[in-house]
Amino acid sequence: MKISGTQYLFSLPRPGKQFGARLIWLAAILFMFAVPTQVNAQSRIKDIVQFEGVRDNILVGYGLVVGLNGTGDSLGSAVFTRESLIGMLERLGVNARDNSLQTDNVAAVMVTATLPPFAKQGNRIDVSVSALGDADNLLGGTLLVTPLMGADGEVYAVGQGTLAVGGFAAQGDGGSVVKGVPTSGRIANGAIVEREVPFTLAGMKTIHLALRNPDFTTSRRIARAINAFVGVTAAKATDPATIKLTVPKNYKGEIVELLTDIEQLRVEPDQIAKVVVDEQSGTIVMGENVRINTVAIAQGSLTIRVSETPQVSQPLPFSNTGTTETVARTDIEVTEGKQKLTVLQTGVSLQDLVNGLNALGIGPRDMITIIQAIKAAGALNANIEVL
């Protein structure tokens, strides 16, 4: 066999002892060229879908942070902090309702956490703490026992611990310095899971895969990749966001193994042509499938400059008549920039579009206007989403 450039010349040997071995070797070479390879399959199924039931749950609670160095809530204005403090002391056997509380070392806070899937009793999770009243700084504070509830009103975890605050605040008579947000903090492993979310994975007969970015083509490609792997028609795309997977017989009772194998399969996600515009920051993000028809673009800059130069008019020296007056002098200058007319041919890619707009020497603000004008002219084959 001789390979030169793109020419493949195979010389078959004459019948002999090595004819069978060489024929098998030749068949292997031909099979290698015939088998298609997924060159553009860049994403794992694990990264573009999520499995039904395998999800986080949001927890929230209300608590008190103590031990602040005079940077807590003002009990006179933060009534909820005062009542919470009195209620906590009464549960501990201290009667503080008849006394005037003046402490500023306590702050009312909201505590949030995320309960991961399959969390068991006794596991620890991180919590975030944010001031609710007029506290200035939570540095050095300690969160007291705080029940964390789910959307159903049940307590799933209990949080407590010392806060870690990333920001700080300092002030004096002549100025102040604030870095970050000192009124929020975090407690690593600050909550203990007390209740589990019931979910049985092993007994499931069907599993639904939900796409993070719904798309007809992507869902069909995922279903085909799964069926090719398991060897039977087990997956079916029911809509752009869902793939229904029936557990094959050889994976019965082994759902974890099935999901692990499916997660590692690679497919090429498809996406629609879209241009995302953020007018506040002047940011433009374009997908690679953005195409435009033949269009001519010219962007001209018109600058009007108005200058005010007041002048003083006063009478001649030693004159007994006349008064000193201020006379306004206005200078208006109009400048019109000269820009070239750029023609973009039909079907140009994203890179050609960007190069054509950059050739005009325009900034992001003007580029947003031009893209919207191209869309209004019907030459932009993409959707525009304005944030």
Q: Tell me the CB-side half-sphere exposure of residue 255, using CA atoms within 13 A.
A: 14
Residues 138 and 101 in one domain: yes
Tell whether 49 is covered by a domain.
no
Tell whether 348 is covered by a domain.
yes
pLDDT tens track for 17-26: 455 555 555 5
Tell whether 164 is covered by a domain.
yes
Residue 383 burial (CB count, 10 A): 13
State the Cα angle at 257 between 255 and 260, rounded to 5°: 105
Residues 149 and 214 in one domain: no
Residues 120 and 154 in one domain: yes
Tokens of 125: 């999770």
pLDDT score recorded for residue 36: 44
Residues 244 and 287 in one domain: no
pLDDT score recorded for residue 284: 79
Residues 250 and 281 in one domain: no
Helix then strand then coil, in percent of the chain rounded to 5, is: 20, 35, 45
Tell whether 339 is covered by a domain.
yes
- List helix spans (H) across the chain: 19-34, 45-48, 79-91, 216-230, 255-263, 350-359, 364-376
Tell whether 239 is covered by a domain.
yes
Handedness of CA 252, 256, 259, 261 (dihedral sign): negative
**Where a domain ends, among 139, 158, 193?**
193
pLDDT score recorded for residue 356: 67
Taking 70 as the pLDDT cut, the residues of the chain under it are: 1-41, 98, 168-175, 295-308, 330-354, 356-357, 360-362
Residues 189 and 66 in one domain: yes
The 8-class DSSP code of residue 129 comes to E
Tell whether 314 is covered by a domain.
no
pLDDT score recorded for residue 341: 54
Inter-residue contact 232 to 248 (CB < 8 Å): yes
Strands 176-179 and 168-171: antiparallel
Tell whether 43 is covered by a domain.
no
Residues 70 and 151 in one domain: yes
Residues 104 and 133 in one domain: yes
Residues 240 and 290 in one domain: no
| Distance in angstroms (rounded) separating the CA atoms of residues 168 and 156 | 32
Residues 184 and 237 in one domain: no
Query: Based on the structure, what is the number of domains in the chain?
Result: 3
Inter-residue contact 128 to 43 (CB < 8 Å): no
- Which residues form the domain of 297? 274-308+327-386
Residues 142 and 231 in one domain: no
pLDDT score recorded for residue 240: 92
pLDDT tens track for 122-140: 999 999 999 998 898 898 8
pLDDT score recorded for residue 25: 52
Tell whether 50 is covered by a domain.
no
Inter-residue contact 68 to 137 (CB < 8 Å): yes
Residues 64 and 189 in one domain: yes
Q: DSSP E strands: which ranges in 29-164?
A: 43-44, 49-51, 57-66, 107-115, 124-131, 142-149, 155-162
**Where a domain ends, among 216, 235, 267?**
267
